Structure 1
Amino acid sequence: MAHQAQEETVQLVKQIFRTYLKERNQRQTPERFMVLEEIYRSDGHFDADDIFFNMKNAGTRVSRATVYNTLDLLIECGLVQRQQFGKNQYYYERSYAYQQHDHMICKECGVVIEFCDPRILEIQNLMEKIHDFEVEGHTLHLFGRCNDREACEKRRESGDKIKSMKEKKEA
């Protein structure tokens, strides 16, 4: 059932992207849609090179420039969000039909821990009422340090940076 829901989402975002490109007289190339599909069939955060190498390893012929340009278009049309967790490293994530979540980032090893707390939505709704304002989205990044110094050091050495909500629950 989850697979079917994912496929329905993929078809829906492809239609949204198709309409977006058509309205702006942009070309609807197969490569752009392959990048979109790669993103929406993957989990969590990724950088442009992750997408490029995943597609290349799967035998898809796509250039790095196409990946970067498509990411920019997907951000413009609201299907992908760009996050900057480090000084100059950008990560991307799907933004259509996925649960709002926020991030904690370790300043030592760079690990990113996703979390979701419904109280943040409650605060957002309250701020809208108090300030007569319509929030269209938000990002929250909490910076600090891992308490488990040994695990932090291992992550820093291995380069493993992303820790999803699911992984956190299993730990």
Structure 2
Amino acid sequence: MAHPAHEETIQLVKEIFRTYLKERNQRQTPERFMVLEEIYRSEGHFDADDIFFNMKQTGTRVSRATVYNTLDLLIECGLVQRQQFGKNQYYYERSYAYQQHDHMICKECGVVIEFCDPRILEIQKMMEKIYDFNIEAHSLHLFGTCNNTEECNRRKETGDKIKSLTPQE
């Protein structure tokens, strides 16, 4: 069973999405809300096909086009962020009620390490002040290579998708 706070977030994002669709005279279809739920029940980064196949495996009837179109709407209303980690493929992650974070990406194996450093927010505030500028969002991607070449090579060989790691892993 999902954590009650997690369920509260899902209900809240559904209401935000409902309001967003209504204000733009967009249809409020059950499939769109199922895509939203699937995203907010998922962890980390995912691509559109991950969402599509996860929903198909659970017996949810949804088209690939609906998944892509819903992702675009969710990005527009600020509930999902789109990331591109140096390749042609986009990855997505939920953005409501989740801590702002940045990414380090290995150019060899594609692993993504999420990190949060409060100094980045301080730099952002300082830049706003210096340049009299209102920053609404930021995205920081640091590209490099893993120091653990054995693990990096294993990920390349197995074709592991981009995933998030914490510093302890």
Q: Give, in whole Å, the separation in 2 of the partners of 1:122 and 1:66.
A: 39
Q: Give, in whole Å, the separation in 2 of the partners of 1:73 and 1:163.
A: 24
The 8 Å contact of residues 80 and 96 in structure 1, kept in 2 or not, is answered as: yes
Q: Give, in whole Å, the separation in 2 of the partners of 1:90 and 1:159.
A: 17
The 8 Å contact of residues 114 and 163 in structure 1, kept in 2 or not, is answered as: no
Query: Counterpart of 1:119?
Result: 119
Query: Counterpart of 1:63?
Result: 63
Query: Counterpart of 2:75?
Result: 75
Counterpart of 2:117 in structure 1: which amino acid? D
Counterpart of 1:142 in structure 2: which amino acid? L
The 8 Å contact of residues 45 and 163 in structure 2, kept in 1 or not, is answered as: no
Q: Give, in whole Å, the separation in 1 of the partners of 2:64 and 2:120.
A: 37
Q: Give, in whole Å, the separation in 2 of the partners of 1:26 and 1:170.
A: 44
The 8 Å contact of residues 48 and 68 in structure 2, kept in 1 or not, is answered as: yes
Query: Counterpart of 2:103?
Result: 103
Q: Normalising to structure 1: TM-score of the pair?
A: 0.94
Query: Counterpart of 1:148?
Result: 148
- Which runs of no fewer than 5 residues in structure 2 stay unpaired? none
Counterpart of 1:47 in structure 2: which amino acid? D
Q: Give, in whole Å, the separation in 1 of the partners of 2:114 and 2:159.
A: 17
Q: Give, in whole Å, the separation in 1 of the partners of 2:161 and 2:118.
A: 25
Q: Give, in whole Å, the separation in 2 of the partners of 1:169 and 1:145.
A: 15
Q: Stretches of 4+ moved more than 3 A in 1?
A: none
Q: Percent identity?
A: 84
Deviation at 1:129? 1.1
Q: Give, in whole Å, the separation in 1 of the partners of 2:75 and 2:167.
A: 29
The 8 Å contact of residues 113 and 162 in structure 1, kept in 2 or not, is answered as: no
- Say which SS state the counterpart of residue 100 (structure 2) adopts: coil
1:46-91 deviation per Cα after TM superposition (whole angstroms, max 9, x unaligned): 0001101111111111111100000000011111000001321110
Q: Which residues of 2 match residues 19-98 of structure 1 at below 5 A?
A: 19-98=19-98
Counterpart of 1:53 in structure 2: which amino acid? F
Query: Counterpart of 2:13?
Result: 13
Deviation at 1:170? 3.6
- Count of residues in correspondence between the two structures: 168
Q: Normalising to structure 2: TM-score of the pair?
A: 0.95
Q: Give the alignment's Cα RMSD to 1 decimal.
A: 1.2
Q: Give, in whole Å, the separation in 1 of the partners of 2:111 and 2:42.
A: 19
